[in-house]
């Protein structure tokens, strides 16, 4: 996500909480969460739902084991592209989800039509273009933090009849 790097690193540093995973007590079970894995479009909706409900278990399940996140800073050359894997992403996002001072999270993604990934991914991957959106974090006794999201590409694949995010690429401009 655009500037997601800043938020996840800040969340990991400022809102450090032990561990990751384990759910958030929303009471969702396999029957109600299975819908988020049923199509590429539902995976994107599932990511937004995981933020809104602060469900770190759902968020973790939506990411494939080999998940990679890439962030391209403005005016970056290829050596400046930042990236990390699932474990690092889950620690930062899970800490944000579980921080008591964070009263509300809202992730809005403006997704386009999914299409084959072509030469940008492996055979069978589907790319979902994200043309904008926002991340809103409401912290107790502070003004809401709002990050405007620009162009992103979310790559998903279907393993065993279950769609998951394999890569998330964040670009500096629309």
Rounded Cα–Cα distance for residues 43 and 50 (Å): 10
pLDDT for the residue 103: 95
Task: Identify any residues that bridge with 100 across adjacent strands, giving them in sequence order.
Answer: none
Ranges of the chain whose pLDDT falls below 70 = 1-32, 173-174
- The domain 4-16+33-170 having CATH identifier 3.40.640.10: the answer here is no
Q: Where are the alpha helices (DSSP H) in the chain?
A: 4-14, 30-33, 40-53, 56-62, 86-98
Per-residue confidence (pLDDT) for residue 80, from 0 to 100: 80
Q: Are 139 and 145 in contact (CB under 8 A)?
A: yes
The domain locations on the chain are 4-16+33-170
Please choose, from the candidates 101, 109, 75, 98, the residue with its C-alpha nearest in 3D space to the C-alpha of residue 4: 109
């Amino acid at each position: 996500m655009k500037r997601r790097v800043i938020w996840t690193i800040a969340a990991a540093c400022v809102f450090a909480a032990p561990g990751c995973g384990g759910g958030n007590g929303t009471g969702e079970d396999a029957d109600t969460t299975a819908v988020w894995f049923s199509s590429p479009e539902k995976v994107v909706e599932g990511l937004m739902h995981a933020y809104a409900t602060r469900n770190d278990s759902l968020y973790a399940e939506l990411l494939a084991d080999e998940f990679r996140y890439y962030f391209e800073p403005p005016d970056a050359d290829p050596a400046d592209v930042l990236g990390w894997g699932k474990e690092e992403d889950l620690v930062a996002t899970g800490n944000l989800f579980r921080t008591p001072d964070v009263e509300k999270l809202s992730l809005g993604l403006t997704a386009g039509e999914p299409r084959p990934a072509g030469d940008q991914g492996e055979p069978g991957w589907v790319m979902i273009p994200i043309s904008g959106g926002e991340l809103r974090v409401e912290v107790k006794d502070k003004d809401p933090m709002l990050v405007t999201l620009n162009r992103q590409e979310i790559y998903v694949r279907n393993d065993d009849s279950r769609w998951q995010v394999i890569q998330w690429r964040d670009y500096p401009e629309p």
